[in-house]
Amino acid sequence: MPIGGIEHINIWAVDLDATLAFYREVLGMEPGDRPPFDFPGAWLYAGGAPVIHLVGPRAADANRPPRRAQPTGQIDHVALAATGLAEMRARLQAKGVTFREQVVPRDGVTQIFLTDPNGVVLELNFPAAETGS
């Protein structure tokens, strides 16, 4: 029973609207079809697949203290394949998003690291052919 890949990443959103806006406006992902679960959320698509699942605060949590962004435990970051390095740099700068960039030695892949509104560190990997753009 081999593993075929990562199906999706689920993020507990402290603020669903702000998190959805971040993934749409900063990363250019589009919300799409999602089953009618009995809790708020959104699925964000890349390459035709729902790769980021957001879960918002539930009605059952109304009388509890609000969920706060927590460290991600032993998971350091989530890496996503990306294209359009120059456009992404410009978008991040225009939105005032802090990011760090590095080029992978030997491979030439450019990596951009940024953090979503919930404290999830994202790594965007751009093909070596775009390095220097």
The confidence band for 70, taking pLDDT boundaries of 50, 70 and 90, is: low
**Number of independent structural domains in the chain:** 1
Write out the residue range of the structural domain in which residue 16 sits.
Answer: 9-61+71-130
List, in order, residues 6 or more apart from 6 with CB less than 8 Å away. 51
Mean pLDDT of the chain: 89
CATH number at residue 104: 3.10.180.10
Task: Say if 80 falls within a structural domain.
Answer: yes
Half-sphere exposure (CA, 13 Å, Cβ side) for 28? 14
On whether residue 2 sits in a domain, the answer given is no
Cα distances from 12 to residues 17, 57, 77, 100, in angstroms, run 12, 8, 15, 24
pLDDT in tens, 5-59: 788 999 988 889 999 999 999 999 999 999 999 889 999 999 999 999 999 887 7
